[in-house]
Structure 1
Amino acid sequence: MSDSTSPPRSVAVLVPAGMLGAGFDPVTVERGLRLGADVIAIDAGSTDSGPHYLGAAEPKTADGAVRRDLRILLHAAHEGGIPLIVGSCGTSGTDSGVQRVSGIVREICAQDGLRLAVSEIYSEQSPADLIARLDAGRIQPLAPLGPLDAATIGRCSHIVGMMGHEPIAHAIAAGAQVVLAGRATDTALAAAVPLMRGMPAGPTWHAAKVVECGGQCTTNPRAGGVLARIDEDGFTIEPLDPEAECTPTSVAAHMLYETANPFTMREPAGTLQVGDARYTAVDHRTVRVQGSRFEPADQHTIKLEGSAVTGYETMSFVGIRDPRILASIDEWAALLRKLLAERVESTLGLAESAWQADLRLYGHNAILDELERETTAPREVGVMLLVSASTQELATAISKVANPLLLHLPLPDMAYLPSLAFAFSPAHIDRGASYEFVLNHVVEVDDPLELFHIDIDLPEAS
């Protein structure tokens, strides 16, 4: 008879998709439960789509899509009696994002009669507290940014700290079955329960990295999620869709994803080392990984992400089909930039230093710009003019100055006025505030929990 206090031989982590709201087949989650999942983990956010979602504290995903996925996962957690962990709620992990997802969870639980203990972990940071930590020399820059100053902290509309697994484990240990975390490392969500149950850090963090995007580590990323089973000597991973496969190449390749070095990955508590990892096919769809190591850091750090308003934008979009312009499209674009600057100065009294205009030629070189090697004249081009200025009114005024140029600007040798095609009416769209990431720094902490506020709502006994 085994000692009930000893660590389990393995812990199985079910990751149904790369992001909450992306959708997945409920059958794959059911299969994960049958395979013995001990925890369900799913990410709900990212910085991939830029600084707007943090700066404006807005979600990227639709509430309806999030509600659909959550209903499936909440029922699975209830049926299996296992924790459900959601990280970076509301896309950027702001406090309002956590509250938004929490509201949906509580609505579903009330509607469907689910009694689940819910925990919210808040990751937004106080500018005053960070300035005090800065003054104490406890905030350091990450490349390519340099030293931080208090003014930059003050510019941010929202700042979040990226938690590791410790706040999540704390909430589960306190009785939470559903953990809704603010900004967190993608890997922390899958690593929390295995680490709590005594699994070694090397295989745990490596498995968590591989499964962070669900089926992306399989031969069919659209097929759904994966199940990783972590034990004392390594981990195995398999797709939840019977038609998909994990191969040594597809699993190993995920260490190339969003990492500066494919052999190492930094977490708040230390560094994962996979240079000696071995990837072995167990069968045609399951892979075994061994040899991963985790080196604890001397100093625990929490990464800070902050977004600040840089200006206000107005966009215009026009299509060009005129063959003479298309044959000399770069010359036409240079002429547009020159005339727009002259007209803005003469009509609005603004020098070029007071505003910006990003001109992109879709169908020509909008993606690669000067790196574009294809020199064949395009058949049609979509011209996007994105004006940025200190106020929305000013950005709109500049775009209106550009309107006649976008509609009828000829090349110098053209004896007629071309008619170009605006994509919509009115011809401009006010985009509102634009943001940029201004914090890419880490703050040194003595306690992994100290920057995070944890609420737990335990259901009353019936």
Structure 2
Amino acid sequence: MTRSESEIRLLSTSAILGYGFPEASLAAGMARAPHMIGVDGGSVDPGPYYLGAGRPFCSVMAIRRDLRLMLRAAIGAGIPMVIGTCGGSGGAPHLALTAQLVREIAHEEGLHFRMALIEAEPARDDLLARAAAGRIHPLAGLPPLSSETIRKATRIVGMMGPEPFIEALDNGAQVVLAGRASDPAPWVAACTRAGLPPAPAWYAGKMLECGATPSIPKGHDCLMVTVREDHVDCEPMNPIRRCTPLSIANHSLHENSSPIHHIEPGGMLDTSDCRFDALSDRSVRISGMRWNPASQYTVKLEGVELAGHRALCICGTRDPMLIDRIDTFIAEVRDIVREKAEAFGATPDRYILTFRKYGLDGVMGEREPKRDATPHELGFIIEVVAGTQEVATAVLGIARTNMLHTDFPGRLCREGNMAFPFSPSDLEAGAVYRFSVYHVAEVDHPREFFPITYEEL
């Protein structure tokens, strides 16, 4: 049932499920009698692989540890435990993995509760029809979403807002596990059900989604946020950390193209008039936020498709004569690879060969502004992406061999140019995915992409 309260206390355990948190911080948070405990389950930050492969971003061992502690705390206190973007990416296999871990822990610990699972993979036929009707729009300069892109995608998820969480909680679920969700959405749901307005609810969610990251020193730890009608109070639960007006204001800038306008499902959080007032040396009150509802509710879509298979090799050199002519040397190696790979049928259109030069421009590539420094050593990651693992591994082998043995003027070492830290030197990294869907879909109802199932444990 919906309740009306003057405040709601929300405890976030960490930035992502599986990052870990101190048990003492969890205990300190539970001593404050929170109304809900939760954690964000994932992020798009690690790239497209985890969504495409259906694998979790964090290890299963680490996820299980965090889940066990959170379940004990929540069920023991009789409060909800809510997790969005389960398994790292929020696809069907990620949600299934997290749910199975919860079932196993519940059996081992003798815990009993109602669990809701909220799926986040829209039906392909629905997306095809919606795209054909002009109800899906591109983001970030991408082209319109074509039927071919929808069909080729390995997996497409929709980013839910708070509405599916509200429905699950209203239907008596004490544990709510969701697929891909806006990071603040579970917290907004709790605030909405408590009768609080959307502006402080969304601001609270922006703080809670990253655990104690809004504090200093930053770390993966527990954060308590108290939400009231016109303000939000933030305090880390670990005594070594503290929230300051600067740390909170700094955190509120993250993951947005605008420092003050935060686009979310159903509207925009405007922080342009926010005040940050220290309540103590460890806690901060934020006020002045505004919520502007959107005229059309949209759901962000994220999708990936298979881009090939990867093989890579790590090596390094300390030869000053080679370092002085490294760009010419790599160009010569490229030419040799092209010729030798063509001999066994791997023409240049069948692979992408990349040399990353760490110590020179390995991080920024062509954008590196410091070009006048001469390093005393260079590390290389040689990468090949091709349509099959066989071709990627074969081309990499040619590249690695010729990085090692290609001659150059003034060369003194006749055995090899490179040092290799590993044997085998060539590593098969498997499937490579790329983002292919980054669009928003118009919906008639915020819950229509997100079916919910319930089970009693």
The two structures share one fold, judged by TM-score above 0.5: yes
> CA–CA distance in 2 between the matches of 1:377 and 1:191?
52
> CA–CA distance in 2 between the matches of 1:112 and 1:68?
13
Query: Which of residues 141, 165, 168 is equivalent to 1:144?
Result: 141
> CA–CA distance in 2 between the matches of 1:282 and 1:369?
45
CA deviation after TM superposition for structure 1 residue 377, in Å: 2.2
Query: Is the 8 Å Cα contact of residues 233 and 284 (structure 2) preserved in structure 1?
Result: yes
Matched, 1:71 2:71: no
State the TM-score, normalized to the length of structure 2: 0.96
> CA–CA distance in 1 between the matches of 2:268 and 2:450?
22
> CA–CA distance in 2 between the matches of 1:424 and 1:286?
48
Gaps of 5+ in 2: none
CA deviation after TM superposition for structure 1 residue 349, in Å: 4.2
> CA–CA distance in 2 between the matches of 1:111 and 1:234?
41
CA deviation after TM superposition for structure 1 residue 144, in Å: 2.1
Q: Which residue of 2 aligns with 1:315?
A: 312
Query: Which of residues 347, 351, 354 is equivalent to 2:350?
Result: 354
SS at match of 1:216: coil
Q: Which residue of 2 aligns with 1:448?
A: 446
Q: Which residue of 2 aligns with 1:214?
A: 211
CA deviation after TM superposition for structure 1 residue 426, in Å: 3.0
CA deviation after TM superposition for structure 1 residue 211, in Å: 2.1
CA deviation after TM superposition for structure 1 residue 261, in Å: 0.5
Query: Which of residues 118, 122, 125 is equivalent to 2:122?
Result: 125
After superposition, give the CA deviation of every residue in 1:231-277 in whole Å (9 maximum; x if it has no partner).
Answer: 01111111111231111111111121111101011111111111011
Matched, 1:33 2:23: no
Query: Is the 8 Å Cα contact of residues 322 and 418 (structure 1) preserved in structure 2?
Result: no
Query: Which of residues 228, 233, 251 is equivalent to 2:230?
Result: 233
SS at match of 1:70: helix
Gaps of 5+ in 1: none
Q: Which residue of 2 aligns with 1:410?
A: 407
Query: Is the 8 Å Cα contact of residues 346 and 391 (structure 2) preserved in structure 1?
Result: no
After superposition, give the CA deviation of every residue in 1:29-72 in whole Å (9 maximum; x if it has no partner).
Answer: 12112212111120111111110000111111111111111111
CA deviation after TM superposition for structure 1 residue 401, in Å: 2.2
Q: Which residue of 1 aligns with 2:248?
A: 251
Aligned pairs, number: 455
Query: Is the 8 Å Cα contact of residues 21 and 61 (structure 1) preserved in structure 2?
Result: yes
CA deviation after TM superposition for structure 1 residue 350, in Å: 4.2
Q: Which residue of 2 aligns with 1:291?
A: 288
Matched, 1:114 2:138: no
SS at match of 1:14: strand
Cα distance, 1:142–1:371 mapped onto 2, change above 3 Å: closer
CA deviation after TM superposition for structure 1 residue 418, in Å: 4.9
Matched, 1:369 2:365: yes
Query: Which of residues 321, 330, 335 is equivalent to 1:333?
Result: 330
Cα RMSD over matched residues? Answer: 1.7
Matched, 1:9 2:6: yes
CA deviation after TM superposition for structure 1 residue 6, in Å: 6.5
Query: Is the 8 Å Cα contact of residues 409 and 417 (structure 1) preserved in structure 2?
Result: no
State the TM-score, normalized to the length of structure 1: 0.95
Counting aligned pairs with the same residue, the percent is 38
Q: Which residue of 2 aligns with 1:270?
A: 267
Q: Which residue of 1 aligns with 2:91?
A: 94
> CA–CA distance in 2 between the matches of 1:26 and 1:79?
15
> CA–CA distance in 2 between the matches of 1:6 and 1:370?
56
What letter is aligned with 2:113? L
SS at match of 1:159: strand
CA deviation after TM superposition for structure 1 residue 74, in Å: 0.4
